[in-house]
A and B are shown apart, each in its own frame.
Chain A
Amino acid sequence: MPTRSHGGLGARLRRGVEPAVLLGPGLLFYAVLVGVPVGLVTGYMFARRGRFGGVEWELSLDNFSRVTDSVYLEVFRESLGLALVATVISLAIGYPTAYAIAKLPPRWRTVALVLVVVPFWTNFLIRVYAWIVLLNSQGVLNDVLVGLGVVDERFTLLYTPGAVVVGLVYSYLPLMILPLYAAIEKIDDELLEASTDLGAGRVRTFLGVQLPLTLPGVVTGSILVFVPSLGNFVVPELLGGGKTVMVGNLIRDQFLKAQDWPFGSVLAMMVVVLLVLLFLGQAWVTRRVEGGARA
């Protein structure tokens, strides 16, 4: 056995202790406050409902068969639909906006980005509430439209799936614009010029060069809008007038109203599974685009 110097031993010890000191507290904290809770929700899926919250630990698979019920599948379908529409609209508004911001002179870019972010840093509930004030049949928009003679009678835009979509877009639009801006800003303008110089039209340059290069931004932005939209329960409640139910409402209600935690857990984990699939998709797209860029 070769002898070791003191320094060597110290260094080796340090190398073992240091990661533990750095990583240990955080990971332990996570284990307790994220790992155990998510584990519990996973376990709850197989348990029976307790009368007043909590669960009875009896093995039960009823929760899984219940979720295949047409009512719940319909809620899932509708939620996916609304979240998707909100995402597509955000993209339709966000892409040209992000593109325009990227083309602004540098000092105006910062101003524009700050302007995009400011509403986002304003209380989320107040942002949703603002639309109640705006869209109400007795509200400002109606006053203006009736005043201008655009419409004859007051009408309500509130409490419809459309109002829910507007609320979702408004809530999460900055999350679409920022990654899009980052992706668009990175593109070398010379690349686009080269494309047009080679005779490609503006549309072809956009579809053939710009869009593929900004695809990671599109995907990231879409996920950032889609995921919180899907799990949202505040917007459907406040702007949907209780007539539109999304998965988020269903999950919230199982935990805080119907007191059926196991069923709520199954619904929540379905959202998680969907999310994992989305992230795998995102990773795949990013790898392809980056691979393509390197090639």
Chain B
Amino acid sequence: MNTSIRRPRRAAAAAVLGTALTLVLAGCGGDDTTSAEPSALDPDADLTEQTIVVSNWEAYMPDDIAEVVKERTGATVEVTSHATNEDMVAKVTGSGGEGLDVVFGSQPYLEALAKAGMLEPLDTDFLDNWGNLDPAAVDTAEVDGAAYWAPYTWGTTGICYRSDLVDAAPTSWYDLLEPSEANKGKVTMMGTERWAMLPALKALGYSVNTTDEGELNEAKDLMVAAKPDLLAYDDTTFYERLISGEATMVQAWDGWCNYGIAEDDRIEFVVPEEGSDLWSDGIAVLKSSENKEAAYAFIDTILDAKTHAWVEENILYNIPNEAALAEVPAELTETYDLLGSRREEMLSGENMTDVGDDAAAIYNQIITEVTAS
């Protein structure tokens, strides 16, 4: 099998069709112009008159967040959900942002939307609590010198496992990619988006943001070889499979592993020795939003030390908010060492960034090839 990445080059085969095509296809679309200037905000806007629609992952913020925002700012928040970053991007682009004001997403996807001019650059002067944020996290939210989203959570990707069901604790990405006899058919890896390629890239010692076709192809071969030993590709329910005992080891984000740990203390998390990523999720305002003051009020409410700490307690993800960390109860960081003593380990990961449109298309193509193999 040819291992090079297949990209459409054989146009000649279809050229015959072209001669038959006499339609002149006029250019249209591409009407969005990128402007890095934030819109003018009205400091006296009546927030009780404004309603914003927020799209977030299911259960990725406390259920009663809308009530908290209403009480604090007067703005009305409607919540809708997306299952993945790709779903979020499809929602935003499929309707030109119509019907949505605020979206939660991961750095590479928000970066791409920002570059395409679909996000509002944030006027941080308007966010009283912006100063609470960890400067390292603020850096990850900048595109061309402007901040485009408010860092919400950050974390790393590793192996979440049932310590009672594995003979030896996993230490390497190869424990997932080439599982021992006893674990064959009982491991899951993520099957979409950038995280699908992370284990193979890191196992081979490459960057999670590589755009080198040779490296990507090597990773693809490793992924194809790993596929038969997988139980399934899973980006959304992996920790439940650990709880039920269907799987013994899964590729997981640290926070979602905490969900498993919360239900079963035999579940543990490890960052493989080859290293991993530092991903960052943020809250962005869509350029098309007509209720930007309320959107800012929503973001500022979350960045408030007390609210953001409350968010960490509820969703068990690390937050990049220095003022809020002082508010997090000690027993939380003791129960979940990923939120306490192992925070530094998480921060040592390689920041996952947007690789650009061309490379993103190659990542997609490889994932298709692996799942189709």
Contacts and interface: CB of A to CB of B under 8 A. Distances in A.
Interface of A: 43, 46-47, 50-66, 68-72, 74-75, 78, 136-138, 156, 158-159, 241-243, 245, 250, 253, 255-260
A66 B232 contact: no
Given A78-B372, A156-B185, 14 more contacts: A46-B21, A46-B25, A47-B25, A51-B116, A52-B118, A56-B29, A57-B25, A65-B9, A71-B369, A159-B231, A242-B233, A245-B371, A256-B90, A259-B89
B371 A52 contact: no
Interface string B249-271: 00000000000000000000000
B29 A57 contact: yes
B43 interface: no
A253 B372 CA distance: 13
Interface in B314-373: 357, 361, 364, 368-369, 371-373
12 contacts: A46-B21, A58-B25, A60-B11, A61-B15, A68-B13, A74-B373, A242-B371, A243-B227, A243-B371, A245-B368, A250-B372, A260-B361
Contacts of B245: 138
B145 interface: no
A50 B30 contact: yes
Residue of A46, A51, A54, A136 ringed by the most chain B CB atoms within 10 A: A51
B230 interface: yes
A74 B372 contact: yes
Interface residues of B, number: 52
A173 to B, nearest CB: 25
A236 to B, nearest CB: 10
Given A242-B233, A257-B364, A62 B8 contact: yes
A71 B6 CA distance: 9
Interface in B147-163: none
A47 B369 CA distance: 23
Given A136-B246, A243-B227, A75 B234 contact: no
Contact of A54 (B11, B27, B29): B29
Contacts of B8: 62-63, 65-66, 69
Contacts of A136: 244, 246
B136 interface: no
A62 B15 CA distance: 9
A138 B246 contact: yes
A256 B10 contact: no
A199 B234 CA distance: 61
A64 B9 CA distance: 10
Interface string B228-251: 001111100000000011100000
Nearest to A72: B372
A241 B232 contact: yes
Interface in B1-41: 1-2, 6-15, 17-18, 21, 23, 25-30
A59 B10 contact: no
A66 B87 CA distance: 25
B11 A61 contact: yes
A47 B24 CA distance: 11
B15 A258 contact: no
B29 A75 contact: no
Contacts of B118: 52
Contacts, number: 125
A199 to B, nearest CB: 54
Contacts of B191: 242
A286 to B, nearest CB: 33
B14 A65 contact: yes
Interface in B74-116: 86-87, 89-90, 92-94, 113, 116
B50 interface: no
Given A71-B369, A241-B231, A59 B93 contact: no
A64 B372 contact: no
Given A59-B18, A256-B90, A259-B89, A52 B116 contact: yes
B315 to A, nearest CB: 25
A243 B234 CA distance: 10
Contact of B21 (A55, A59, A78, A242): A59
Contacts of B86: 256-257
A86 B113 CA distance: 41
A70 B1 CA distance: 9
Contacts of A242: 191-192, 232-234, 371
Given A241-B231, A242-B232, A257-B364, A61 B90 contact: no
Contacts of B373: 71, 74
A243 B229 CA distance: 11
B244 A138 contact: yes
A129 to B, nearest CB: 12
Given A138-B246, A243-B371, A245-B371, A61 B14 contact: yes
Given A52-B116, A65-B8, A241 B233 contact: yes
Contact of B17 (A61, A245, A258): A61
Nearest to A239: B232
Among the interface residues B8, B30, B113, which one has the most CB atoms of the partner chain A within 10 A?
A: B8
A242 B83 CA distance: 15
A259 B113 CA distance: 13
A67 B11 CA distance: 11
Given A69-B6, A70-B6, A156 B246 contact: yes
A64 B246 contact: no
A137 B27 CA distance: 54
Contacts of A46: 18, 21, 23, 25
Of listed A59, A257, A258, residue having the most chain B CB within 10 A: A257
B231 A156 contact: yes
Nearest to B15: A61
Nearest to B368: A71
Contacts of B17: 61, 64
